[in-house]
Amino acid sequence: MSWVDDVHWDSNGLVAAVAQDAANLRVLTVAWMNREALAATVAEGRAVYWSRSRQRLWRKGEESGHVQRLKEIRLDCDADAIVLLVEQVGGIACHTGRTSCFYRRLTDGAWETVDPVLKDPQDIYGA
DSSP string, 88-100: EGGG--STTSSS-
- The model's confidence at residue 66, banded by pLDDT at 50, 70 and 90, is very high
* Mean of the per-residue pLDDT values of the chain: 95
E strands in 6-64 = 15-21, 27-33, 48-51, 56-59
Q: What is the CATH number of the domain that holds 6?
A: 3.10.20.810
Instruction: Provide the pLDDT for residue 126.
Output: 79
Distance between CA 81 and CA 10 in Å, rounded? 10
- Does residue 18 belong to any structural domain of this protein? yes
Question: pLDDT, tens digit, for every residue of 87-101?
Answer: 999 999 999 999 999
- Does residue 67 belong to any structural domain of this protein? yes
Indicate the number of domains in the chain.
1
- Does residue 42 belong to any structural domain of this protein? yes
**pLDDT at position 35 over 90:** yes
- The model's confidence at residue 125, banded by pLDDT at 50, 70 and 90, is confident
**pLDDT at position 1 over 80:** no
Percent of the chain scoring above 90 in pLDDT: 91
Q: β-strand 15-21 against 81-88: which pairing, if any?
A: parallel
Mean pLDDT, rounded, for 27-47: 98
**pLDDT at position 127 over 70:** no
Q: Which residues contact 109 (CB under 8 A, 6 or more apart)?
A: none
Q: Is the dihedral of CA 2, 14, 51, 90 positive or negative?
A: negative
- Does residue 119 belong to any structural domain of this protein? no
Mean pLDDT, rounded, for 18-47: 98
Percent of the chain scoring above 70 in pLDDT: 98
Q: How far is CA 82 from CA 55, 102, 106, 116, in A?
A: 20, 18, 25, 28
- Does residue 113 belong to any structural domain of this protein? no
What secondary structure letter does DSSP report for 9? Answer: -
- Does residue 99 belong to any structural domain of this protein? no
